[in-house]
Amino acid sequence: MCSTCFGFLFAVSTVAAGQTSDEYQKQAEKLSRETSPIGKVKVLIKMSDLDIGKVGQWVKKGNLLEADEFLNRYKKVIKQISEILKASNRNAQKDPAGFKEFEIALRRQLRKLADLKLNYSFDQQEAISQAIATAESAKEEMFQAIFGPENAGRRKDRNERTEKSKEETH
């Protein structure tokens, strides 16, 4: 009976992994047909979410090398989204569509990446740390584009003051 259960679980996990690949392929095909920058950004956000999902699956299985492959693909997608939004030459303060969705997705993804990083040993954290740095950088760019660099500086100063006050109380 246990071998039957194992076979069933293997089949289910294989089908689930295949579904994610199929969904990623569908999104890639959709991306190739998409002409508007905002449409491309929305498709790429879905693709980056799928990459984070695959990272989570591989981390749960303990295969960090395979997870790192998806982290590298995730970084490329994040960079591609940033480039598309920059090349669109749109004013994010007047029309934040795409910029706002990307910034929100990055916040959600950064929380997931931080949780996943806890499963990595110190000497294996390079790929996930790079992915987090890429996402943080893109998030900061989006924040500046949406709210203006003068307001982003205030946010950063406020965060630094908050950190200093926390250190002083401890």
Q: Structural domain tally of the chain?
A: 1
Give a yes or no: residue 129 inside a domain. Answer: yes
Three-state secondary structure of 59-89: HHCCCHHHHHHHHHHHHHHHHHHHHHHHHCC
Give a yes or no: residue 104 inside a domain. Answer: yes
The span from the first CA to the last CA of the chain, in angstroms, equals 56
pLDDT at 27 (0 to 100): 95
Domain that holds residue 44: 10-160
Give a yes or no: residue 165 inside a domain. Answer: no
Say whether 112 sits in a helix, a strand or coil: helix
For residues 126 and 118, what is the distance between their CA atoms, to the nearest angstrom?
13
For residues 9 and 109, what is the distance between their CA atoms, to the nearest angstrom?
28
pLDDT at 83 (0 to 100): 96
Give a yes or no: residue 1 inside a domain. Answer: no
- pTM of the predicted model as reported, rounded to 2 decimal places: 0.76
pLDDT at 151 (0 to 100): 74
Give a yes or no: residue 113 inside a domain. Answer: yes
> Could you say which residues of the chain have pLDDT below 50?
1-17
Give a yes or no: residue 167 inside a domain. Answer: no
Give a yes or no: residue 3 inside a domain. Answer: no
